Amino acid sequence: MPLKLYRRGKIWHFSVSVEGNRLRRSTGTTEKELAKRVAAETEAKLWKRHLDGPEAGVTMAHVFATYIDAGKPDRFLDQLIDFWKDQKIPSPKAIQESARKIYPDAAAATWNRQVITPTQAAINHTLELLDLPTIRVKRFRVEKKAKTPATPEWVAAFSAQATDDGLPHLAALCQFMFGTGARIGEALALSWEDLDLEGCTALVRQTKVGAERVAHLPQPLVVTLANIPSNRNPDATVFGYVARDSVRKTWDNVIERAGIERLTAHSCRHGFATVLMRRGVDIKTIAKLGGWKDVRTLLEIYVHASEDTTLTEGIFDTNLAQGTGEKAVSYRKQMGKLA
């Protein structure tokens, strides 16, 4: 069916059919020449979509808008929206290249986290809505570096220095992350309304995984939190820092004055998992207590092996090394008894 223009009242409308798919739409204008252009552009897009596939008419601006409207995470999207603008859906290779262009001085882990993952997620959301095959973008290879977890001794030294420096909020922040396994963003978002010091609990809103958990507060941590100078306004944040960037410099300065190893705030979360693991707490319980969804991630990244090589000393603490008077039985004979 050829393109047809017609008027409803003062506004021009058009109808067009592409391979049996008919479309009627308003041009939104009273000027016929402009209406012809609007209709012709729409017809061209319909033919392009028909010939090249349903996603051909979808722009990245539409992809990100649809993703955000669906209530999906919008972290890191501003830079991506600004980069792609109205371009069509890119190839996996082009997405990889965009990471280098958007963050030219960043590491591979940043490219994966801030470009590859959110871009692929947004595109696949739209493709699924169109009932089309999703894409898979190859991640950049990231070298795993051994990360040092905070220890109770390190936390004590840091807290003492922060307190001496007149920074009780920072000392409490360090202890809170170490005592609950909270992420830095979760800790900074904590309000006085979220704390129940009498019940020794804190409501931790897990921004990364979109959930909440109630964390137990060990007694020393309760004392530290109770001694923070504050008017206890329910809506006020407990630690007083606006964002993680406002913590970093002060945090590093305290470490330098204390003369202790330079660790990030996130090392306190590492330490939480590592200490519990070494005390015999099973991995699933640690994941639940610290708000980890993926036990595998917890094992690979957060739980650190002990450097104590003498741990094997007690491996023979049985009758095997004490002499029972019984004759040794060969492996073959033992298996024969089981047969």
**Tokens for 103?**
């963050």
Residues 166-193 pLDDT 10s: 999 999 999 999 999 999 999 999 999 9
Query: Do 106 and 76 fall within a single domain?
Result: yes
Query: Do 98 and 212 fall within a single domain?
Result: no
Q: Return the exposure string of 54-79: e unless at least 16 CB atoms fall within 10 Å of the residue's CB, then b.
A: ebebbebeebbeebeeeeeeeebbee
In a domain, 199, yes or no: yes
Number of folded domains that form the chain: 3
DSSP 8-state symbol, 132:
-
Query: Do 263 and 178 fall within a single domain?
Result: yes
**Tokens for 320?**
């095997």
- The pLDDT confidence band at residue 41, using thresholds 50, 70 and 90, is confident
Q: What is the CATH number for 197?
A: 1.10.443.10
pLDDT at 51: 66
Q: 180: Cβ–Cβ under 8 A, 6 or more apart, which residues?
A: 202, 204, 215, 216, 217, 221, 272, 290
Q: Return the exposure string of 263-294: e unless at least 16 CB atoms fall within 10 Å of the residue's CB, then b.
A: bbbbbbbbbbbbbbbeeeeebeebbebbbbee
Query: Do 216 and 167 fall within a single domain?
Result: yes
Q: Return the exposure string of 114-135: e unless at least 16 CB atoms fall within 10 Å of the residue's CB, then b.
A: bbbebbbebbbbbbeeeeeeeb
In a domain, 315, yes or no: no
Question: Whole-model pTM above 0.75?
Answer: no
**Do residues 139 and 97 lie in contact, with contact meaning Cβ atoms separated by under 8 Å?**
no
In a domain, 137, yes or no: no
Average pLDDT, the chain: 85
Residues 265-322 pLDDT 10s: 999 999 999 999 888 899 899 999 998 887 887 777 666 556 666 655 556 654 444 4
Residue 331 pLDDT more than 80? no
Query: Do 89 and 176 fall within a single domain?
Result: no
Query: Do 67 and 47 fall within a single domain?
Result: no
The parent domain of residue 227 ranges over: 152-302
In a domain, 288, yes or no: yes
From CA 263, how far away is CA 222, in angstroms rounded?
Answer: 24
In a domain, 336, yes or no: no
Query: Do 246 and 115 fall within a single domain?
Result: no
Q: Shortest CA distance to 216 belongs to which of 195, 238, 200?
A: 200
Query: Do 202 and 245 fall within a single domain?
Result: yes
Query: Do 118 and 217 fall within a single domain?
Result: no
In a domain, 101, yes or no: yes
Last residue in a domain, options 32, 52, 72: 52
Last residue in a domain, options 12, 29, 52: 52
304 or 96: whose pLDDT is higher?
96
In a domain, 95, yes or no: yes
Q: 250: Cβ–Cβ under 8 A, 6 or more apart, which residues?
A: 167, 170
Residue 3 pLDDT more than 60? yes
Query: Do 294 and 169 fall within a single domain?
Result: yes
Identity (one letter) of the amino acid at 101?
A: K
Residues 195-246 pLDDT 10s: 999 999 999 987 655 678 999 999 999 999 999 988 889 989 999 998 888 8
In a domain, 138, yes or no: no
Query: Do 118 and 35 fall within a single domain?
Result: no
Q: 300: Cβ–Cβ under 8 A, 6 or more apart, which residues?
A: none
Number of residues in the chain:
339
Query: Do 98 and 76 fall within a single domain?
Result: yes
